[in-house]
A and B are shown apart, each in its own frame.
Chain A
Amino acid sequence: MSETVIPYMVKPHPVTGLPNGKFGIWLFLSSEVMLFGALFSSYVLIRIGMPHWPPEGGLSSEVLSVPWGTFNTAVLITSSITMVLAWASCKMGSLPRFKRWMGATVFLALVFLVVKYFEYSDKFHHDHFPSHDNFFAVYFLLTGLHGLHIVGGIIVNTFLLTWGSRMWKTDPEHFTNRVENAGLYWHFVDLVWIFLFPSLYLL
């Protein structure tokens, strides 16, 4: 098909210093900040309207599992590191090493989801559904939406690991840019969790 040639698809724009895709991903992340910002503000507003939090008494750290939360935090931070290493491997021109680190990133993301699955089923087991009270409503809303972002990241990263990596042969620079963009997104998802964990589990 006849695609029009769009300038700065791969090469950075001389003034902004960014290729189109990277600029786009930063804008996307800014809107994500507004999304999670709105959710965090809602959490604050609902929480200060309550005489006690969690409403049933006790402490957040007693209702949610801090050890598993800590473990998952470590998992996500590690996956951010492997993501950087995957991108660095592309920069250094080694596809096999990229595949190794990207594989590790996807694996760690799956570990995070599995832990989350056990945490959720534990809550359901104790009849703690979102409808139970607003503590669980907030918990499931924020972690659920974050979980969906993790799933999105897994899909993108798996694509880059498999079919997407075919671009390496034809246009390695463009491929490296894509990995970088996926990395920016992945660090953001990681960062959201770093705010979520203390404000939900610890405070």
Chain B
Amino acid sequence: MSVEHHTAGGNGHGHADHGHHELPFWRKYIFSVDHKVIGIQYAVTALVFLLFGFSLMMLLRWQLAYPGQPLPVLGKLLGETAMPGGVMAPEFYNQLGAMHGTIMVFLGVVPLAVGGFGNFVVPLQIGAPDMAFPRLNMVSYWVFLPGCILMVCSFFANGGAAQSGWTSYPPLSDIAPAGQTMWCLAMVLIITSSLLGSINFIVTIVQLRAKGLTYWRLPFFVHAQLVTAFLLLLAFPPLEAATVMQLMDRLAGTSFFLPSGLVVSGEQLKAAGGGSPLLWQHLFWFLAHPEVYVLILPGMGIVAEVIANNTRKPLWGYRLLVYSVIFIGFMSFVVWAHHMFMTGMGTTMSTFFQTTTMIISIPSVVILTCFIMSLYGGNIRFTAPMLFATAFLPMFAIGGLTGLPLGLTASDIYLHDTFYVIGHFHYVVAPGTLFALFAGIYYWYPKATGRQLSDKLGKVHFWLSFVAINFVFMPMFFQGMAGLSRRLYDPTVYAHGRGVQALNVVISWGAWGLALAQLPFVVNFFMSLRAGARVAENPWHSTTLEWAAPSPPGHGNFLTEPVVYREPYEYSVPGKTKDYSPQFQAEG
């Protein structure tokens, strides 16, 4: 917590002097209503949780690489309940898995992509002085943070943290120890926060665009954030409903998700019964599939900005991109049950969801194709953000294409719940979305702080991460095709797992290497706050509106009210002296 305040403080130097009187420290950096400060608060909180969630996984990887062997040093420190004799207890293994997923998705990637980048960049890119509801924005962060803290504190609950997977499937989660109750309460807070945020985004984008900024002149990033906000607005409430029902099952003794005649440890469970565990799965995936697009769309938005800026040419198929992203938004509400082919919900349902799943893959391919076409014929500047954005393309392609066999019922029967699934969605989210988010950090860091991140350290960070992350996720496909189940505590317990156990060692070392690869980034991030090269408004020679504001922008963002004259990506216009014609300049 202290970290984000320090960073926010570091960003604030010398830019609050545009004719406003000074606010006290706690109003300026802690309970701030300024979208830029809130964005940075979200981003830094999310980065801390990404690191935390990653650490949980690095711990878990020890058990997978060396099952049953005591973990040196750390094993002793974590205590006798979690790691008796330094060997990971199965319950602790389950906690690490469940909390890794929950933290990475709900406390890491989404807050960074939407809360961080959305808050910081969207009002700047549309030429607004702030979000439409600044105080609501502040409340949204201060509902989110207690949710995060509650989630992490659940490790100290009696019986440990949530341990029924990040999906919290009942009946297991209904009868799990107290940590699961804290999981539910934390989720209610986090959902409420994202609900307030999404209302704010939609109103801001629709109402507060600068003069001349029509929908077809919006940067693609803003379109992506607008669709994302609608997904959050409409998909999260069903999970809130489901979480409240699970809370009632756990606290008030109801049986929403408990079927009749359930037997636990040889004894019949004392509950009224008559509920449906499948109901939870439907409600959960009704959120969690749109959530997948909440994870990826802002990433695609960032990649679009970085690619256009570094190829020095307009995005290929800008309107196609926008239509695709809107189409994805609609379709993402009717694909959820492809996570449930194995539940026996019937062939008619399965066929329907298999069909919609195949349909939704089309706009994703269109988007990827547009990005690749954008590279064609460009005079590409391979800066650190561009390296991450370029790598996003093949990584997302691998993640997307490996998803097709999972969307088809026949092949899913074999691959469901194996490491293949883990490999698939991690390729989308880790080297996909996370690389895009890194690209965004390198790209907008100068705007947020007024200083450039070191490009050299950025490139070291990129290449090491790029190699390591493929060692982590590529072998998972082979393990999955060998039939290795994703949640096994001891992967060598079955004969078919022993054949691919060597790959587990590779993956674990890859993951630990990936952690080391983040060191240049951490050093760069903090060092550049003080030592980075100072920049003017528009260091990347970019065309979109955020680069019209000072770096860092002061309270109210723009010195004069911006007016938009043209489309967002007018690079290398023939006959012009400069190779970029900003949206905000009348004469390009």
Q: Residue of A at shortest CB range from B561?
A: A7
Using an 8 Å CB-CB cutoff, how does the interface string of B260-274 with A read, 1 for contact, 0 for none? 000000000001101
What A residues does B23 contact at CB under 8 A?
1-2
> Which residues of chain B have a CB within 8 Å of any CB of chain A?
20-21, 23, 27, 33-34, 128-130, 132-134, 136, 195, 198-200, 202-203, 206-208, 233-238, 240-242, 244-245, 248, 252-256, 271-272, 274-276, 279, 282-283, 286, 555-557
Answer yes or no: A46 CB below 8 A from chain B CBs. Answer: yes
Q: In whole angstroms, how far apart are the Cα atoms of A73 and B118 in the complex?
A: 43
Answer yes or no: A118 CB below 8 A from chain B CBs. Answer: no
Nearest Cβ on chain A to B191's Cβ, whole angstroms: 10
Which of A4, A28, A133 contacts B274, CB < 8 Å?
Answer: A133
Q: In whole angstroms, how far apart are the Cα atoms of A131 and B251 in the complex?
A: 10
Which of B130, B237, B276 contacts A46, CB < 8 Å?
Answer: B276
B252 touches A6 (CB 8 A): no
B253 touches A7 (CB 8 A): no
Q: In whole angstroms, how far apart are the Cα atoms of A45 and B275 in the complex?
A: 9
Nearest Cβ on chain A to B18's Cβ, whole angstroms: 10
A45 touches B279 (CB 8 A): yes
Which of B20, B128, B279, B557 contacts A42, CB < 8 Å?
Answer: B279
Nearest Cβ on chain B to A115's Cβ, whole angstroms: 22
A31 touches B238 (CB 8 A): no
Choose the segment among A33-41, A62-70, A170-178, A194-202 that binds chain B (4+ C-beta atoms closer than 8 Å). Answer: A33-41
Which of A24, A130, A141 contacts B132, CB < 8 Å?
Answer: A24
What B residues does A117 contact at CB under 8 A?
none
A38 touches B238 (CB 8 A): yes
Which of A5, A39, A46 contacts B241, CB < 8 Å?
Answer: A39
B256 touches A134 (CB 8 A): yes
Given contacts A7-B207, A23-B207, contact A130 B21 (CB under 8 A): no
Given contacts A20-B207, A39-B241, A130-B254, contact A4 B272 (CB under 8 A): no
Which of A18, A38, A49 contacts B237, CB < 8 Å?
Answer: A38
Q: In whole angstroms, how far apart are the Cα atoms of A93 and B248 in the complex?
A: 47
What B residues does A166 contact at CB under 8 A?
none
B129 touches A6 (CB 8 A): yes
What B residues does A4 contact at CB under 8 A?
34, 129-130, 134, 555-557
Answer yes or no: A119 CB below 8 A from chain B CBs. Answer: no
Q: Residue of B at shortest CB range from A7?
A: B208
A27 touches B233 (CB 8 A): yes
What A residues does B34 contact at CB under 8 A?
4
26 CB-based A-B contacts, threshold 8 Å: A1-B23, A2-B23, A2-B555, A3-B33, A4-B34, A4-B555, A6-B128, A6-B130, A7-B128, A8-B207, A13-B207, A16-B206, A23-B203, A28-B195, A31-B195, A31-B198, A31-B234, A31-B237, A35-B237, A35-B238, A35-B241, A129-B253, A131-B255, A134-B256, A137-B256, A140-B252
Interface residues on A, range: 35 or more
What A residues does B244 contact at CB under 8 A?
141, 145
B241 touches A130 (CB 8 A): no
Nearest Cβ on chain A to B580's Cβ, whole angstroms: 28
Nearest Cβ on chain B to A49's Cβ, whole angstroms: 6
B286 touches A38 (CB 8 A): yes
> Which residues of chain A have a CB within 8 Å of any CB of chain B?
1-8, 13, 16, 18, 20, 23-24, 27-28, 30-32, 34-35, 37-39, 42, 45-46, 49-50, 55, 129-134, 137, 140-141, 145
Nearest Cβ on chain B to A123's Cβ, whole angstroms: 13
B252 touches A20 (CB 8 A): no
What A residues does B206 contact at CB under 8 A?
13, 16, 23
Q: Residue of A at shortest CB range from B276?
A: A49
A34 touches B556 (CB 8 A): no
Apart from the given pairs A18-B207, A34-B234, A134-B255, 13 other A-B contacts in the complex at a CB distance below 8 Å: A2-B20, A6-B208, A8-B208, A13-B207, A16-B206, A16-B207, A23-B206, A28-B199, A45-B282, A46-B256, A131-B271, A137-B254, A145-B244
What B residues does A134 contact at CB under 8 A?
254-256, 272, 274-275
Nearest Cβ on chain B to A38's Cβ, whole angstroms: 4
Q: In whole angstroms, how far apart are the Cα atoms of A137 and B272 in the complex?
A: 10
Q: In whole angstroms, how far apart are the Cα atoms of A47 and B27 in the complex?
A: 51
What A residues does B202 contact at CB under 8 A?
23, 27
Q: Residue of B at shortest CB range from A22?
A: B203
